[in-house]
Structure 1
Amino acid sequence: MSFPWDGVLPEANPVIVRDLDVVGVGSLRQRQLLNLSANREVLLQLHTSDIPNTVRAIYDEELARTIAWLKPSRVFMGESFGFNTEVLKTFVRVFPKSSELLGDMRTKICAEYLEAMEWSSWLLQDHWRYFSGFVRQKFPQNTELFELTQWEWIHAWLEVQPFEISSGSGKHLVVNPSLQTLPITKYQASLNKPLGIYAFVCDQDLVKIREKTLDIYEACLLDLLAEDRAYTSEQLLQMALLEEVKPQISPEQWKEKIEVLLVSSIILNSSF
């Protein structure tokens, strides 16, 4: 199987997944894999001889944890893989629109990135975590490309991170720990997105990444809840009324903004 995965169950049974794609993952990919293992027999293919020595101890620990929750029918050793070939396939899946925008330059830019970056993980996807910064350094004037790579990497990062997200019926409001934000400074043609500040969160109930533009009032509410602060809805409202945001809005309108952030899973009810 290839990851990121669209969630459509494969016809094959059993299904082979690789440690290079699944060891240590959480968030949406873990949910997908649990759904997969409930419907198909799963075999786990290992590439332990190819894992960098610098992360081998951590890999071994995460592998044991992954086997415990994935419960594969069989674990077996795979053949040594062609790193450059496989990591480039991963690039196209993680950055599909950026790959299109790069066009004929893609091969050269990826080759330069791979030459500059030492592999220091076991997940192939993680090897591209600095690609946005690399693009910004190479093309400092190309804001569209930089913001597009950032957008796609945020989605990829949120898909696998082992967030501890526990929403409930408590009285306190907290920021979703998966929250990421990205300013888009001009119309993003590849995404068909206007400029604005975008918020991204992992919605584990819906098993999807949700994105939303933030207005100045929603951004203000998130600032008030920053640094792990928590308020009841009424406390947050009172704090918001003290903010000097122009134009001013009524308490009822502030309440609506709080509700929008709750419905979007950007802030959560917490029972701590």
Structure 2
Amino acid sequence: MPNVTAVRTSVLPPYAAHLRVYEPLAAYPGPERARWQAYAAAHGPDAEGPERTVAGAALEEQRAALAELLARTPRALPERESERAFVRVLDGVTYVCPWTTRLRSWQALEELAGVLPAALLDTVMPPAVRAAAEADQAAWRKSHPDARPWILTSRWEVPVRWFLPFGKEDRHFVPPVPAGDAAGPEPAALCYLTPMVQARRRVARGYRVLREKLPRGPLVQGAEQVGRWLEEFHPRSLVELDYGGLVHLLGPERLSADHSAEEIDAGLAALRAGDAPEAVRMYESVTARWRKVLALRQGS
């Protein structure tokens, strides 16, 4: 299949979804722009057009991360920042989403410390290893005070707030390719892709109605977090929500029937119109769906 990175492997990706920002080459400063331009020219696009996904390239990234974990000496993060990126081409424009694996590893380490009990955390990641990683991060932050990841990751669920930037027209469902197909087998895929301007507009509109109608609800803070993160990027960027490895949990039938972004949008419209029962029904429809997925984590 042209214009798609294909990776054949028996390794299943983690059960995680990703929110990504792809910035146009023009958004990067001179030397960095030249580097990404050369990378895109040599590497080619991972996806061309809105209907394509970067699933193959994402699996390649995860395999590289797994190789790091299998090193003889335990490491909390890669020794150097990744020089790779996801590349999208849309309407003749090249967009780049750097992997920033090292920066995201620091963030994952912070999240891990907030989730695991201390004894288990020490077993998974010894205190000396964590301390070295934290020292490295502190030193790195001094020279990179404005650094931010182009990719956010959520394990075992898609947070409701992540649907705020998208509408039903942004949804792209790719059916699975059966084992007998020459290009297959490939799992189903589900992603949303929208221009940054539209994403910011939707989040701001959602934030306003939530702050007015449900000022103490969890979505208010979530909308603010997503909005602040999107403001960090070029206004002509692309925003993508990728169900990633969650497709292996949900399966093609549940993916095909999943219209979470449309339901959240409908719930906000109902809330704006003063129809609280309908807003609650839409919200609970989405949260109930993801509670079932989260329940699988407890049984794993």
TM-score, structure 1 length as denominator?
0.29
More helix as a share of residues: 2
* Larger relative contact order (CA 8 Å, sep ≥ 6): 2
TM-score, structure 2 length as denominator?
0.27
